[in-house]
Amino acid sequence: MKHQIANRLEYILDQEKMFDPQRICQILEKELSPIIRNYLEIESQIKVRYKKYDSKNMFFVEFVADRIKPVGYIPY
């Protein structure tokens, strides 16, 4: 089963005639934000940057976190 974000990116990268890296970065920021906020307490906006390196598409996700929320911790 493909995830919604994978379907969107696949459509944008493969189907659209005009490739717009800024649009993909905006979609990633919107889609990743709730996932990141589930695990981290962030103090800055999530920023996704794009860079073309040879034939590869590289994406960088940037944000500052105040703390990591506990995951799977069961107190005694």
Residue spans per domain, the chain: 4-68
Reported as a single tens digit per residue, the pLDDT across 25-72 is 998 999 999 999 999 999 989 999 999 889 888 999 999 999 999 887
Q: What are phi and psi of 2, to 5 degrees?
A: -85, 145
Mode of pairing for the β-strands spanning 47-53 and 40-42:
unpaired
Token digits of residue 75: 């107190």
Using CA atoms, how far apart are residues 39 and 67, in angstroms rounded to an integer? 9
Q: Is the pLDDT of residue 2 over 70?
A: no
pLDDT on residue 16: 61
pLDDT on residue 61: 96
Reported as a single tens digit per residue, the pLDDT across 6-22 is 777 777 666 665 668 88
Place of tokens 């911790």: 73
| pTM for the structure as a whole | 0.67
Those residues whose C-beta lies under 8 Å from the C-beta of residue 67, and which sit 6 or more positions away, are 40, 41
